[in-house]
A and B are shown apart, each in its own frame.
Chain A
Amino acid sequence: MATKEEMKKIAIRAIEDDRFRADLRADPAKAVASMGIEFTPEELAEIKELRAKAVAAGLRESKGVAPWCALIF
């Protein structure tokens, strides 16, 4: 089980090292093992879980669809 300090080390390396970040996304267990850290299955599941919810909300443009659009479609 990784300690909080180890988690912080992983976080910093992931921010600074693009290749490590890519490895962490592809295979977290292997990536952290390269730093001498071992994850429990629960920690692995936690880190794999996609939490990024930020998304650009697109335009909401109501276009009144007229009957002749049936001919276009």
Chain B
Amino acid sequence: MTVHPGGTIGVNQSAGATTEEDISKVPTDSPAPDKWGLSKERISPAKYRPLRIDEAELADISGRGGAKRFMLRNPGNDTYVRLGEEELFLWNLMDGRHTVRDLALEYVSQYAVPRPETLLNLLELLSSNGFLKGEPPPAMHPMVVQSQKRRMLASLRRLTHYLIHGTLAAKHIDRYFDWLYRHAAHYLYTPPALIVIIFLILADIAFFIYFFLIQHVDLLISPSGVHIVDIVSLMLIVYGSLVIHELAHGLTVKAYGRRVLRAGFMLYFGLPLAFTDTTDIWMKPRRARIAVSLAGPCANAAVGGLLFLIAAFLSEGTVRDILLHGGILSSVVFFLNLLPVAETDGHYIIQDYLEIPRLRSKALHFISHDMWLKSARRKPWARDEFTFLMYGLVTVAGTVFLVYLGIHFWITTGSKVVDEVIRRPHLVLEIFGVLVVIAGISALFYGLLARKRHITAEHIVGLQRKERSDITRGK
């Protein structure tokens, strides 16, 4: 492409040629090439010819009546990039023949307005997420240098992350979810089953309010003081609830025909939790994404409702107490996961409903920084910024509820456990013994799985993905 002295523009779309090839194609019998001009051409982002990867998967995730939205998936590294209609137009032109300058011109021809940021932002995103073949565009180089400078910091972050959020994940877990869905769980996604589930959820909420918030039932089973059976049963119930929760997320991903990328256990500030990577549901529209996020908490509420209903037909006794406590704890898991106090299911539901990716980080940044700056300068707020404030208020309300739950647990159950420990110190040893047994069984379980090579060092992959997305976000 050349810009003629008269100001007219011509586009030369020589197929398949990169800038380096352009240089090598200079005829030997021609006058000596302008070396400075050629060097300039080599480092010019405008001359770069982006070439999209062949294996990228594209899905239309537009909602009803809204703007067109598309999701691109890179199956090589399981990264996802959301595009608008204009960016899809540019993506389709990235065939290795059009230069960046050509793309800018095609954009103007199509949309009548030059928006260089749209094109450059897209190139940076695609390049950093592996959607383009070959070397990154020249403009990307400062980005790479910057990330190299941060290598030391990244190592330190990796170590801290492992200690606080270390994960142990089964990489090929999708085949197990797939088997379970096809052989049994698909019945749960039929209309009659969904009606029963809704009934159980409503029953759970009603029973929870009655037993936990009105009767203030404690979570201890033994009538004569705290025993190790109380601790073990509480732990089993909670871990059972979490496994059901994660199963529901994964199975709902399968119900929508997508893949569960990883699942397993992780440390969350030192406490073990189950987790499921449902990132692949990005390839489906908003409704599917909300359904996947809702599935986990709703499964807990449905199980809770079932336990409450069975307990209601039983006479006083240990079995009834265990079912009652199972119901209460399942309900607590249901409510906790709907609160948007961290990146919980509730957070994802709000984020998907509003169609604002990275809602939490944007909202926190606005509330902690921009909101005060704009208020001081008396600048008007954008529509999204009111949403950020509302999200912040919901988070505060959720935190208040969480603090209430913490205090309630302490008064009804925690203080009794501590009193018992002071009176009978060997209870601590008993609890410690149970934890050691659980850790031993878990290690044995993972060891067996690792021998089958299903367990991978996925936390490293996860961290790399997180780092990459941080860099993309310019953190």
Binding site for B on A (CB under 8 A): 4-5, 7-12, 14-16, 21, 24-25, 43, 46-47, 51-73
Q: Mark B295-332, 1 if CB is under 8 A from A, else 0.
A: 01000000000000000000000000000000001001
Beyond A9-B3, A57-B81, 8 additional pairs, beta carbon < 8 A: A12-B104, A14-B114, A21-B117, A52-B118, A54-B81, A56-B79, A63-B275, A64-B246
Most buried by A among B84, B113, B462: B113
Whether B114 lies near A69 (C-beta < 8 A) is: no
Q: Does B8 contact A (CB under 8 A)?
A: yes
User: What residue in chain A is nearest B68 (Cβ atoms)?
Assistant: A53
Whether B278 lies near A67 (C-beta < 8 A) is: no
Whether A16 lies near B44 (C-beta < 8 A) is: yes
Main secondary structure of the interface of B (DSSP, over half): helix
Chain A residues with Cβ under 8 A from B197's Cβ? none
- CB of A41 to closest CB in B, whole Å: 14
Whether A51 lies near B115 (C-beta < 8 A) is: yes
Q: Does B406 contact A (CB under 8 A)?
A: yes
Whether B358 lies near A52 (C-beta < 8 A) is: no
Size range of the interface on B?
35 or more
Whether A47 lies near B113 (C-beta < 8 A) is: yes
User: What residue in chain B is nearest A69 (Cβ atoms)?
Assistant: B336
Across chains A and B, the number of contacting residue pairs, with CB separation under 8 Å, is 198
Stretch at the interface among B172-180, B340-348, B372-380: B340-348
Whether B403 lies near A60 (C-beta < 8 A) is: no
Q: Does B105 contact A (CB under 8 A)?
A: yes
User: What residue in chain A is nearest B356 (Cβ atoms)?
Assistant: A55
CA distance A58 to B467 in the complex (A): 11
- CB of B379 to closest CB in A, whole Å: 16
Which residue in B332, B348, B358 is a CB contact (below 8 Å) of A55?
Answer: B358
Chain B residues with Cβ under 8 A from A5's Cβ? 7-9
Binding site for A on B (CB under 8 A): 3, 7-9, 44-46, 67, 69, 71, 79-84, 86-87, 100-101, 104-105, 107-109, 112-122, 125, 128-129, 238, 241-242, 245-246, 249, 266, 268-269, 271, 273-279, 281-282, 289, 292-293, 296, 329, 332-333, 336-337, 341-345, 348, 357-358, 399, 402-403, 405-406, 409, 462, 465-466, 469, 472-473
- CB of A22 to closest CB in B, whole Å: 10
Chain A residues with Cβ under 8 A from B238's Cβ? 66-68
Task: Pull 20 A–B residue pairs with CB atoms less than 8 Å apart, ordered by A.
Answer: A4-B112, A9-B9, A11-B107, A12-B3, A24-B116, A25-B117, A43-B113, A54-B125, A55-B358, A60-B282, A60-B289, A61-B279, A62-B276, A62-B296, A62-B348, A63-B274, A66-B333, A69-B271, A69-B336, A70-B406
Given A53-B83, A73-B402, is A15 in contact with B281 using a C-beta cutoff of 8 Å?
Answer: no
Which residue in B114, B336, B358, B469 is a CB contact (below 8 Å) of A67?
Answer: B336
Whether A56 lies near B271 (C-beta < 8 A) is: no
Whether B119 lies near A15 (C-beta < 8 A) is: yes
Whether A59 lies near B469 (C-beta < 8 A) is: yes
Whether A56 lies near B129 (C-beta < 8 A) is: yes
Whether B112 lies near A64 (C-beta < 8 A) is: no
Chain B residues with Cβ under 8 A from A11's Cβ? 104-105, 107-108, 114, 116
